[in-house]
Each structure stands twice: as C-alpha cells, then as structure tokens.
Structure 1
C-alpha cells in the first residue's frame, strides 16, 4: 500500500476517523497525566504535605509539566476538527453547486418543453386553418356546374374584373366586391390565417399588438416566414392576381388595410405575374404603385413583367 503524506491523510479524514484520533489523543493525554502524577509521588515519597509551600511547588510542577503537553494535544484536536469542518463545508458547497446546476438543467428542460408545447399548439391550429384554407380554395377553384359552362368561381370573378377592365384599381375593386359572394369567404379565411401566423407564431413580436406599426416594423420570428410561405405556396397565379385587387384600399381606416399590410409583410405577391393570356395587364401593373415593394419580394415577374 502506498505511503500517504500528511496532506493526503487529511484528505481522507472522516468523522469516524476524527473520533478515533481524538480518542487516541485523549488516551495519550490521560496517560501523560498519570505518568506525571506517578513520577511526582514516586520521587517525593507519595506523601501529602500540610505545608502551603509544598502544595505551591506541587502545582508549579504539575502545571509546568502538563500545560504545554495538554495545550499541544488540544491544539492538534482543534486543528483536526477544523480540517474536518472545512472538508464538510467544501462538500456542502460542491453539493450546492451540483444542486444549482441540476436546477438550471431542470429549468432549461422545462423551458424547452414549454417551447415545444407552444410550438405544437401553434402548429396544430395553423395546420387546421391551413386545411380550412385549402378547402375554401378548392371550392372556388373547381367547376360550379353546368350553368357556368364548367367555369369556377375564380373564373367568374376574374371575368368580371379583368375581361371587363375598369379604368383603375378602385374600379376593379368595385367589380370584385360585386362578386363578393363567390370569393369573399376565401379571402376572409386567408386573412385570418395570415393574422394568426403574425400574432401567434412562437417567439413572435406582434402578439396582441396587432396594428399598422407592429405589422410594418416587427422583426420576423424564427419560422414566421416559413409558415407564411407554406400558405402562399397553395395560391395559384389566378388567385394571387385577384388577391392583389381584393386588398386595394386607400384609407388606413379601411377594413382591408391590415390585410394589405400582411400581404406586404409576407411578400404574398412575389409569384404574381403581371400578364393575363401572355399580355401585360395595366391593372396588375398599377399594383406596383399601390403596394410597398416588399409585397413583391424577389419577384421574377416584376423584373420581367411579360414573363409568365
């Protein structure tokens, strides 16, 4: 077995070992006291004196002999106790550090769990709304029956807006409003889905402060654009062109104003061609002057209006 130095022995000190050492110190001290008394009585015939001077000499002898020895042994016992207390305090400190670290990990895990739950709740509602959106989109995109010659609601609204062109966007919006019964429900579902994304996306910056200022200036949350892009991907060229007309408004008090701002925030016109039947359409070209350029994102059609 390797020989341990004094420092290593102190490192291995335990309450049981301390008690053992203190017992040895006490036994040694008792033995020393006994030896001193035995030596004195043996040397001086073991008789008790009646003289004060003899008792004074006896006290000086006992005190002078035992005090240094007992003080030294007491100091050793005190040092051993201090060492053990220091070790226990160090152990307590380390245990508190481990507890604090475990608490931090637990809080971090709970925080991540909470974020995961919030994300799951958001995505559950988002995909439910997306399903409703797609059903509404499908309804207006399929043939409505023999009385319409196989045309869909989208076809009928586009005919009213683009085949009988108005002189400006306001006139086109009026024409679309007259067909509100055909596509109005779809655009309301689209607006509510976009609003839900902006106000409920995890780590979002709009929340309950849904107004013009926050819609324009709030930073995007981590996956906010991803969700809006998923929604945007379901819109056809025809529907996107109608959307550009649908959100035309001139007043911040208009009920469509926030819808317009959401279109700009999420670049919903990025994939909108400015042509109909391969010909540039002036109404669609005019939307460039109405919408902020953010609405068109990185549009290839904006760079080349004749592309389709």
Structure 2
C-alpha cells in the first residue's frame, strides 16, 4: 500500500513538472479555437508523459502481481497450518488411545503398545513444529490441546505416584523367558518427557495474583472452608 501511494504521488509530480512549463509559457493566452493548436498540445503532453506513465503502469502491474502472489502464498500457508494442526492433534489422540485402550484401568504391558504410543507422540511434535509463525492462534490452540492430553496421560499413568507402573521393575522387564518382551527404554522416555511440563513454557496461571489478607477476610460465609485454608498459609501468620 505504501509503494502504491508513493507511485501515485511520483506520477502526479511528473505530470505537474511536464505541464508546468506549458502553463507558464502559454497560460496567459486565451484558449485557441484552432484544432491544430490543440493537436500540438496533445503531441506535447503525449510525448512527454507517455514514457513516465507507461513506466508507472508497468510498475503498478508488477506490484499487483506481487501482491496477488503474496496473498495466494498467505492463503496456502493458512491451509497448510490448519492441516498440520489437525494432523498433529490426530496423532495425540491416537497416542492416548494406544496407551489407554477403551475401559483399560492400567497401561498394557506391551513393548509394541509403548513403542507405538511414543511414535505417535514424536509424530505430533514433528508435525506441530511445522505450523508457521503466521498462525499464532493455531500454535496456541495446539499447545492447549497438548496440555489436555498431557493431563490425560498423567491421570492414567500416574508417574508421580508410588504405586504406578514406573515403580515396578517387572513391568518394564517383561517376560524374561521371551526375548524382546522388555519395554524399549526410549519409548518410555518419550512418554515420560511428554508428561513433563516444558521448561521453556510459561504457565499463564503465574500471572494471577494470590489472595490478599483483605480479600480472605471479606469472603462470604459459604467460603469459610477455603477461608480457613488460606488463613493457614504462612504469609498470613506473620
């Protein structure tokens, strides 16, 4: 838009510069009734302006073509980003459905299941990384979906609980009488790392302020349990 505006201004200036000498020289005379005089004027205007105007038109055409190409590329990027988002989300869904079959109460003790789950998670990470910076809303949407599935994985596998499968050596060792039945340690690592909070990710809840003493003291009576809990915080015991 700025280039087009500058081009229009430059064209107007050229027109003024070309016409000004004629106006200065012959502007004080009455308009001629002779067609020949008007023909001479037309030849002068056409001869001096045809080149600049043709150049301006050519430049304007190039700008229009470039803008159309940029628009088409932007639309293609949006389409690609949406496809990447949907594909990555589908990978997360399949990863969870693999590690947690319908109505399963515990993860399968299966090398193939854990390998397949890890592969789906790696695919989700690879595909989501292709979402361009021109689609920040899709990036944010995917991060929210990944956080949702991270919670589902944690609730099912319970990595931080003493009675989870991660505390059982036999679960990962498999059947010692069957070669290759043990779980692939790299698949376990991929799944564990997916459940961890990314170090570079900032938690939006950190922006929310904690309750002040005045807010706690002014709580309604039906919040007395929460009020008592908060009043027990070290910051209120000073």
The normalised TM-score by structure 1 is 0.37
Structure with the larger RCO, 1 or 2 (CA within 8 Å, 6+ apart): 2
The normalised TM-score by structure 2 is 0.46
Highest CA radius of gyration, 1 or 2? 1
